[in-house]
Amino acid sequence: MLASAGITDRTLTAGLRCGLLKRLHRGSYVSVTVWNAAKPWVREDMILIGHVLASHSHGVYSHSSAARLHGLRTWGCGDAVHLTQEFAFGNSGGAHRVRGHQQLLAPSLVTSGKVGGIRVPVTTIAQTVLDCARLFAMQEAVIIGDHALRKGVQIAQLQALLVASPVVRGSAKARLLLAVLDGRSESAGESRTRVLVGRMDMPQPELQVEMATRYGNYRLDFAWKQYKLALEFDGWGKYFDFEPTDEAIARERQREKALMELGWQFIRIDWAALSDPAGLESRIRASLVRAGARLPVRRSTLFA
């Protein structure tokens, strides 16, 4: 980031023209080399941080911007910077939008976050969950909400906040979200998987099932214990900035071997599988039938 670095306008203009710099916001720039090498979610963070460092906005960072500032997982929310304030203000265009939301926030709904030594106002985690529930699709908002529960937010707290809120628009979506949140999901992929499988017309799995084996106790992401069938989400390297080590792979193979010795079978899925819900449903149904489940004729057209 080059905001407030003392570089002249002429230097910045030259850097932009020759393709060495990318403008994030007015007064905020990043090296094109750094930008091109960054993963999509890292770019989203750059855009938000760039706005914080270069802006003197009087708004409160909210929605997915607040989620990122609180360290909550996000997926599919886009790279727009979200600000909430009492008075209406225009949304900015350009490559990286600033989206304004008009709402008078009570002091109890606002806290502070810190970016690069700068303290900025941000909605509380609970308010952030409700804002995201109202604005985003279920599969996007559930990731934020699940992580908020893991950070200590209580469902009762969210329900009370929703009831007390003067905001009507999107409240039905928020109620639906609160009904499906589950802090046991340990990753964005697990949250999305849970929502997708929950919509399927089939027996539902248990979450985070612990099984004792001769190698020790192991947990399964999703399990149909009656049929000894496990559904495991493998998200390494796709959503995060790391790959599994050889040691981690060896431990995972030992874990799977120990459970297979007890008669367990595995369905392994990744991010690509979540983009094909119909295909995922077919795989799960076929595995359940092979394991002895008697399933109703597939009626769902939800993923057609």
Taking only the tens place, the pLDDT of each residue in 62-113 is 999 999 999 999 999 999 999 999 887 766 654 568 899 999 999 999 999 8
Q: Is the pLDDT of residue 271 over 70?
A: yes
The confidence score (pLDDT) of residue 156 equals: 98
Q: Catalogue the long-range contacts made by 111-114 (C-beta closer than 8 Å, 24 or more residues apart).
A: 113/61, 113/66, 113/69, 113/70
The confidence score (pLDDT) of residue 240 equals: 44
- Residue 13 binned pLDDT confidence (cut-offs 50, 70, 90): confident
The confidence score (pLDDT) of residue 243 equals: 54
Q: Which residue has the tokens 């990744």?
A: 270
The confidence score (pLDDT) of residue 57 equals: 73
The residue ranking higher by pLDDT, 5 or 79, is 79
Q: Is the pLDDT of residue 3 over 50?
A: no
Q: What average pLDDT does this structure show over 292-297?
A: 85
Q: What average pLDDT does this structure show over 250-261?
A: 83
Look over the chain and give the mean of its residue pLDDT values, rounded to a whole number.
87
CB neighbours of residue 249 within 10 Å: 12
Q: Is the pLDDT of residue 304 over 50?
A: no
Give the rounded percent of residues in the chain with a pLDDT score beyond 90.
61
Min mean pLDDT across 15-29, 70-84, 123-137, 256-270 is at 15-29
Q: Is the pLDDT of residue 195 over 90?
A: yes
Distance (Å, rounded) from C-alpha 27 to C-alpha 32? 16
Instruction: Write out pLDDT tens, residues 135-176.
Output: 999 999 999 999 999 999 999 999 999 999 999 899 999 999
Tell me which CATH code domain 189-290 carries.
Answer: 3.40.960.10
Residues across the chain: 304
pTM of the model: 0.86
Give the rounded percent of residues in the chain with a pLDDT score beyond 70.
88
Locate CATH 3.40.960.10 in the chain: 189-290
Min mean pLDDT across 101-110, 203-212, 241-250 is at 241-250
Distance (Å, rounded) from C-alpha 72 to C-alpha 82? 15
Q: What average pLDDT does this structure show over 204-231?
A: 93
Q: Parallel, antiparallel, or unpaired for β 216-224 and 229-233? A: antiparallel
The confidence score (pLDDT) of residue 2 equals: 47
Distance (Å, rounded) from C-alpha 198 to C-alpha 205? 9
Distance (Å, rounded) from C-alpha 224 to C-alpha 205? 5
